[in-house]
Amino acid sequence: MNTPVNILKIAKQVVDVEQSALNKLHDQIGDEFVQAIELLLACKGHVIVIGMGKSGHIGNKISATLASTGTPAFSVHPGEASHGDLGMITKNDMTICVSNSGETEEVLNIIPIIKRMGIQTIAITGNPKSTMAEIADVHLSIAVGEEACPLGLAPTTSTTTTLVLGDALAVTLLKLRGFTEEDFARSHPAGSLGKRLLLNIDDLMRKGEDVPKVELGTNIQEALFEITQKRLGMTAIVDSNNTVKGIFTDGDLRRAFDEEIDLKTTLIEQAATLNPVTIESNQLAVSAAQLMEKHNVHGLLVVDKNNQLVGALNIHDLLKAGVV
């Protein structure tokens, strides 16, 4: 019956069956897994993941995870491999063949050819006595008691355990290779982590004529024209050598109004923030965001090692770039 209780019961049964299979997978990871890792670490080329049907879909995910965590990898469809794509595999590569039954014809047809090339193979199957398991150099078992599908037909539990085993391989390799956040960012430059770890302030800051600045001795009214024109809500105050002496922001302007300062006669340095927080252009953009948060400001002047003004940026620049 389509009652809420029955619906939840079915769903939880699926989770229970797959959770039980993962517990079994945990217990059967042993010496063969170590051998597989040693082969993968020794591989001087790419890891080629081959699978058919649902195993192929899981194989695609495994190869993608390997590639993004420091192990060069890609997938090859076994049907296409027999019609030319075997040329993508070189003698420096190795293969991971995925099949729950271990008897998938399309995969078995190409393993002898791969082995003749001297390429080593890891087989991931649910049958340790299968043809694929016996001819592979290393076999990893994903044998499960039952599929979550009540008909025992649709790959469910078997695909879950294969996926988890693939993650175990990738993460183990990641740790053994000393793969870092910076390494991950280099392969994900468009992602948020990549932007946080790869973008420098120099990539985002306003430069040249776009940087608002006035010299010491400028009155506040003249400085306001510069702030309005450059639209950063602030202006740098520099000396004749372009060395940063202060910053004048919207907040300073509000305080000037509160104190009823004469904007035409008051010099900018008399109402500005002197010795402001600055940052060098060779630092990561995320460092600018952290500095803004620490000092509760929305903009920063960018300087070189001699404290000379080279740029400026505000929180909107960081937001637009996806750094924060």
Q: What is the per-residue DSSP string for 37-77?
A: HHHHHH-SS-EEEEE-THHHHHHHHHHHHHHHTT--EEEE-
Q: What is the DSSP letter of 156?
A: S
- Which residues are 248's β-sheet partners? 235
pTM here is 0.67
What CA–CA distance (Å, rounded) separates 19 from 124? 19
Tokens 């039952």 -> residue: 146
pLDDT tens sequence across 92-103: 999 999 999 999
Q: Do strands 299-303 and 278-280 pair parallel, antiparallel, or not at all (unpaired)?
A: parallel
* Domain boundaries defined on the chain: 4-179, 200-321
Asked whether residue 192 carries a pLDDT value surpassing 60, the answer given is no
- Count Cα atoms within 13 angstroms, Cβ side, for 270: 14
* pLDDT of 196: 58
Q: Check if the beta carbon of residue 149 is closer than 8 Å to that of residue 125.
A: no
Judge contact between 138 and 31, C-beta under 8 A. Answer: no
> pLDDT by residue (tens digit) across 250-290?
888 888 888 888 888 889 999 898 989 999 988 888 888 88
**How is residue 259 annotated by DSSP?**
T
- The Cα 208–Cα 205 span in angstroms is 10
- DSSP per-residue letters across 178-189: T--HHHHHHT-T
Gap between the Cα atoms of 27 and 118, Å rounded: 32
Burial tier of 242 (Cβ tally within 10 Å: 0-12, 13-18, 19+): middle
152 pLDDT higher than 90? no
The answer to whether 49 and 60 are in contact (CB under 8 A) is yes
pLDDT tens digits, residue range 94-149?
A: 999 999 999 999 999 999 999 999 999 999 999 999 999 999 999 999 987 788 87
128 HSE (CA, 13 A, CB side): 7
CA atoms of 196 and 286, how far apart (whole Å):
5
The CATH architecture of the domain made up of 200-321 is Roll (3.10)
Give the model's pLDDT for residue 153. 61
Q: What is the CATH number of domain 4-179?
A: 3.40.50.10490
Q: What is the pLDDT of residues 277-286, one digit of tens each?
A: 999 988 888 8
Q: Where are the alpha helices (DSSP H) in 207-314?
A: 220-230, 250-258, 268-271, 285-295
Share of the chain above pLDDT 90, in %: 59
Residue 235 has which token pair? 């202006």
What CA–CA distance (Å, rounded) separates 234 from 248? 6
From residue 197, alpha-carbon distances to 72, 136, 288 in Å are: 21, 40, 12
